[in-house]
Structure 1
Amino acid sequence: MPRKKIIPIPDVLDVLNPFKVKKQRIMNFNPANGVATRPQAEHVKISVFDFTPGNCDEVIIDDNNIAAAFKYLDTPAVSWLNIDGINKEQVHALCEHYQIHFLVEEDILSVGQRAKMDEIGDTLFCLLPMIYFNTETSTVEQEQVSIVLGKNFVISFQDDPLRDVFEPIRDRLRIPGTRIRTAGADYLCYALLDMIIDNYFIVLDKLGERIELMEEAVQHQPTTRALARINFLRKELLLFRRAIAPVRELVNGFLKSESNLLEDRITKYYKDVYDHILQCNDLTENYRDMVLNLQELYHTQLNVKMNEVMKVLAVVTTLMAPLTVIAGIYGMNFKHMPELESPHGYFITLGAMGLIFVLMIIIFKKRGWF
């Protein structure tokens, strides 16, 4: 079995640098005093997949021609419209044409919302975080993704096309005969949710690697910088945990829904997604316990190090105590001390002091005190 590669401790400590991280995070949205809308995107990209079991049309619509996306409401095929970049006017135009409720429109335009699932009118709407791990700063980042499921169409809204995780779904749509091509819009919605949640495990793996590196670093160098990095990891894990915790309720909403948009045969797939998010939550709790154990390990290692220092100081003090007593006795200014008149008194005293010192070292060593 190959041996595990040991990473040098200085490199380990350079993996995380919480003091250089500058980013804006939305932990919770307060509708009473928060900013309810996200910044307007300068450029919007609309990619459309209009597919049947035997045919798939892939179209990219320019952001200046939003009306070109309206025709897919009336096609007999299943249509997936993915909007990269949120623009208020274009979102309003799409929602108005596809008869999406204005409350859903407000949620799409909002930022920092808690993951949720709503059944409004003839559509099912869900909102959840798409989470990424920034390897340069070792931080957890997220963006809000909105998915609208209607009759024979699915519309997804996201901010950054460079962080898209839906490319495997597009590849499957391009292949004839795949299950996603033969199933309906409800299965496509499941596939999008499943891809987002599966990406959570990738982020967890990255966090797990950092936790293992910090465990090794703390065992060798329990410094204050290591403690700062442990606290930094704890906060990142807390951010991740707070983001994905409501997703379980979201998926459970699909399982409990009696909407005609969801066929009974698709329920088992949403049950699989529900199992995945449960596993993700459990794994997050395990990592949280590991980080707490890291903090305890740091304090334990610090106490052990301090005990070693105190042991050395105690041994040195004990060894020097009898020598100090002897030196103190012969440092008294008495006139009549027999050893003062002896020509070999100085050497006899030094020899006695050295003998006592060596005997004490031998006794301490046999007792295992150092």
Structure 2
Amino acid sequence: MPRTRCYRDGALTGEDFPIDEVSDHLKDPTALVWVDLCAPDLEELQLVANELGLHALAVEDAAQGRQRPKLDRYSGHDFLSAYSVCLDVDSGQLVTGEIHAFITPTALITVRRDDSFSLDAVLTRWDDQAELTKFGVGALLHGLLDVLVDGHFDAVESLDDQIEQLEDLLFDDRPHDRSVQRRSFELRKSLVQLRRVVLPMREVVNTLMRRDTGLVSDELLPYYQDVYDHVLRATEWTESLRDLVNTILETNLTIQGNRLNIITKKVTSWAAIIAVPTAITGFYGQNLPYPGFGHQSGFLASTFLIAILSGALYLTFKRKDWL
């Protein structure tokens, strides 16, 4: 069911009224209307478009979805595309929710593709900052953007925590090469996806703050500046985390190479030690007379040589940290 609200002079005066009554509320110049449509069909979306005179291209973008974060300007209204994000910690995947908004001087219409993004937090933000609604539709839009950007920031923070755990796993005494490699690629994929969502928001918020848009009054400008600051911080944090994941992948490969060198060095050292008794027993196994041939003294001499030479090699390799 569509959700609706009406504000007059900064006070909430109506809620959950039918969509076809939107135009009646907007006849009052002091009225400010919000309409939310979740997974609407084309007929329902067209009804709102007819009520508010929305541009056909903007309606088409909202119906088709899969838009990049942007702010398009049309005659009489603006069209916003944005995404909510949430990190699934177990799988490392980023769950996104697409949301569109038609912005007129007296109305805000949000269109969601599904229930992945709940508007309860937005409504709470509006109720907590009820004194701002008297400054127009910019106040409602600020509440929506503030919740979206806070979600971006929370996702970046969750990714940071996961990468820190990955670093601990990387330098664990027990090798976790496969786990580190798989988790690194999962987190890197989520970071690339998050970057596509967060990076364009700088342009969106910056455009809204321009005076020629007429959406943000002087009273609301500090609030939008705060949102813009959070967008910049989320963007910079995402970029640094992406570089950090690449560093972890490279470090993991380096550690694997070092571990392989150590194993090769140890195997070679043991092979050298084993080669000594093999050579001595092979020498004494010849069918030719030699000192001690056919006597117990020959056996004792060969055993003594094997023990002394093998021990000397072991101590030498151990001193050089090859074993």
TM-score, normalized by the shorter chain, greater than 0.5: yes
The 2-side partners of 1:134 and 1:355 are apart by 61
- Range with greater deviation from structure 2 (323-332 or 350-359): 323-332
Displacement after TM superposition at 1:140 (Å): 0.7
Q: Secondary structure at the match of 2:206?
A: helix
Displacement after TM superposition at 1:229 (Å): 2.5
The 2-side partners of 1:143 and 1:359 are apart by 68
Instruction: Check conservation: 2:80, 2:101, Cα contact below 8 A.
Output: yes
Matches within 5 A, 1:62-141: 65-75=18-28, 76-135=30-89, 137-141=91-95
Instruction: Check conservation: 1:117, 1:124, Cα contact below 8 A.
Output: yes
The 1-side partners of 2:12 and 2:151 are apart by 26
Instruction: Check conservation: 1:56, 1:173, Cα contact below 8 A.
Output: no
Matched, 1:59 2:15: yes
User: Would the alpha carbon gap of residues 168 and 362 (structure 1) be closer, same or farther in structure 2, given more than 3 Å must change?
Assistant: same
Q: Deviations over 1:70-124 (max 9, x none)?
A: 3232232222222222221111111111111112111211221111112211212
The 1-side partners of 2:125 and 2:295 are apart by 103
The 2-side partners of 1:172 and 1:340 are apart by 98
The 2-side partners of 1:230 and 1:147 are apart by 35
Matched, 1:201 2:157: no
Paired residue for 1:348, among 297, 301, 320?
Answer: 301
Q: Secondary structure at the match of 1:264?
A: coil
The 1-side partners of 2:315 and 2:89 are apart by 54
Matched, 1:293 2:235: no
AA of the residue aligned to 2:6:
D
Matched, 1:328 2:260: no
Instruction: Check conservation: 2:5, 2:16, Cα contact below 8 A.
Output: no
Instruction: State the TM-score, normalizing by the size of structure 2.
Output: 0.90
Specify which structure has the higher proportion of helix: 2
- Match in the other structure for 1:8: none
User: Would the alpha carbon gap of residues 232 and 171 (structure 1) be closer, same or farther in structure 2, given more than 3 Å must change?
Assistant: closer
The 2-side partners of 1:172 and 1:316 are apart by 69
- Match in the other structure for 1:259: 213
Matches within 5 A, 1:1-370: 45-52=1-8, 55-61=11-17, 65-75=18-28, 76-135=30-89, 137-161=91-115, 163-164=117-118, 166-174=119-127, 178-220=130-172, 221-334=175-288, 336-370=289-323
The 1-side partners of 2:97 and 2:310 are apart by 69
Relative contact order higher in (CA < 8 Å, ≥ 6 apart): 1
Q: Deviations over 1:13-49 (max 9, x none)?
A: xxxxxxxxxxxxxxxxxxxxxxxxxxxxxxxx22222
AA of the residue aligned to 1:213:
Q
AA of the residue aligned to 1:272:
D
Q: Deviations over 1:313-332 (max 9, x none)?
A: 01101212332222222122
User: Would the alpha carbon gap of residues 91 and 242 (structure 1) be closer, same or farther in structure 2, given more than 3 Å must change?
Assistant: same
The 2-side partners of 1:172 and 1:209 are apart by 27
Displacement after TM superposition at 1:226 (Å): 3.1
Percentage of identical aligned residues: 22
User: Would the alpha carbon gap of residues 264 and 174 (structure 1) be closer, same or farther in structure 2, given more than 3 Å must change?
Assistant: closer
Q: Deviations over 1:114-150 (max 9, x none)?
A: 1111221121221111222234533112122111221
User: Would the alpha carbon gap of residues 343 and 135 (structure 1) be closer, same or farther in structure 2, given more than 3 Å must change?
Assistant: closer
Q: Deviations over 1:316-369 (max 9, x none)?
A: 0121233222222212221x3122043322122102211222222223333433
Unaligned runs of 5+ in 2: none
Q: Secondary structure at the match of 2:212?
A: coil
After TM superposition, which residue ranges in structure 1, 4 or more long, deviate above 6 angstroms? none
Q: Secondary structure at the match of 1:57?
A: strand
